[in-house]
């Protein structure tokens, strides 16, 4: 079994550990309450405005002969908003989890799998917050850059998942290592494991769209990233050549 598979298996099993159950629920419930309130006041207006734009695209396209394209436009508008709603909720839950829950997740993973791993980090809460702000800004930038691709409805499910995958790894890779790794170790691990971290973020972004399972996604994400990166840090420190990075 690969290290990614082991990390996912560990996360899925330990998400239901008594210490994780409350963390599994309250960040997602808080995020749902926040964005649910926003949706209550703005969803219909946004859907109508977006439907009008989509209707204009349909009227000027080869699909202009289609019957009932106004209804099609409204359906597509609601679908697009739903696809955006999920990553907004999950990302908000991740930020809440990163600020208030990751220390408990890191402590749990370290105690159960890496009890001898020295803590050389001690990054401040301000550093974690700054990392989250950078991640949010990056996701907004990626969203803006991807706007031309939203013209093609087949890409709608992929765009928010890809952006959420980037946000997952950007936010949680720092929080997972903040207590254990120094800055040099962080840079080495992020550089050596960039592709695998994004792949892990992508798999876990997909979980957010699975009914019921999506409620547990933030804690599963946190556990998986922490397990994977603490294992990679342990391997780095055991490397036979000083400064060498061992790919876990």
**Domain range list for the chain:** 3-38+84-237
Give yes or no for a contact between 231 and 176, defined as CB atoms under 8 angstroms apart: no
Residue 240 or residue 14, greater confidence? 14
Which residue in 191, 202, 196 sits closest to 166, CA to CA? 202
Q: Coil, strand or helix: which one is 61?
A: coil
Could you read off the pLDDT of 141-176 as tens digits, one per residue? 988 888 788 777 677 778 888 888 898 898 889 989
Q: Which two tokens stand for residue 234?
A: 């342990």
Percent of the chain at pLDDT exceeding 70: 88
Q: Quick one: DSSP state of residue 152?
A: S
Give yes or no for a contact between 169 and 139, defined as CB atoms under 8 angstroms apart: no
Could you read off the pLDDT of 202-221 as tens digits, one per residue? 988 888 778 777 777 888 88
CB atoms within 10 A of CB 200: 26
Q: Number of C-alpha atoms within 13 angstroms, CB side, residue 224?
A: 28
The mean-pLDDT minimum among 50-64, 98-112, 204-218 falls in: 50-64
pTM score over 0.95: no
C-alpha dihedral (133, 9, 33, 37), degrees to nearest 10: 70
Which residue in 139, 205, 201 sits closest to 176, CA to CA? 201
Query: Does the pLDDT of residue 27 top 80, yes or no?
Result: yes
Kindly indicate the confidence band of residue 248, based on its pLDDT and cuts at 50, 70 and 90: very low
CA 203 to chain centre: 9
């Amino acid at each position: 079994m690969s290290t990614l598979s082991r990390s996912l298996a560990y996360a899925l099993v330990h998400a239901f550990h008594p210490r994780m159950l409350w963390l599994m629920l309250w960040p997602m419930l808080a995020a749902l309450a926040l964005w649910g309130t926003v949706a209550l006041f703005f969803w219909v207006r946004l859907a109508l405005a977006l439907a009008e734009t989509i209707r204009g695209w349909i009227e000027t396209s080869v699909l202009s002969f289609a019957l009932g394209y106004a209804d099609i436009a409204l359906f597509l508008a609601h679908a697009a908003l739903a696809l955006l709603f999920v990553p907004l909720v999950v990302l908000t839950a991740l930020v809440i989890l990163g600020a208030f829950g990751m220390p408990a997740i890191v402590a749990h993973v370290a105690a159960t799998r890496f009890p001898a791993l020295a803590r050389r980090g001690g990054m401040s809460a301000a550093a974690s917050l700054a990392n989250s702000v950078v991640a949010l800004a990056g996701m907004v930038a990626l969203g803006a850059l991807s706007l031309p691709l939203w013209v093609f409805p087949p890409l709608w499910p992929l765009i928010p998942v890809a952006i959420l995958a980037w946000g997952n790894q950007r936010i949680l890779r720092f929080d997972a290592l903040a207590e254990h790794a120094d800055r040099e170790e962080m840079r080495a691990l992020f550089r050596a494991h960039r592709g695998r971290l994004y792949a892990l973020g992508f798999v876990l972004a997909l979980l957010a769209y699975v009914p019921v399972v999506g409620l547990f996604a933030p804690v599963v994400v946190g556990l998986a990233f922490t397990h994977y990166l603490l294992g990679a840090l342990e391997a780095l420190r055991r490397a036979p050549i000083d400064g060498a990075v061992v790919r876990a």
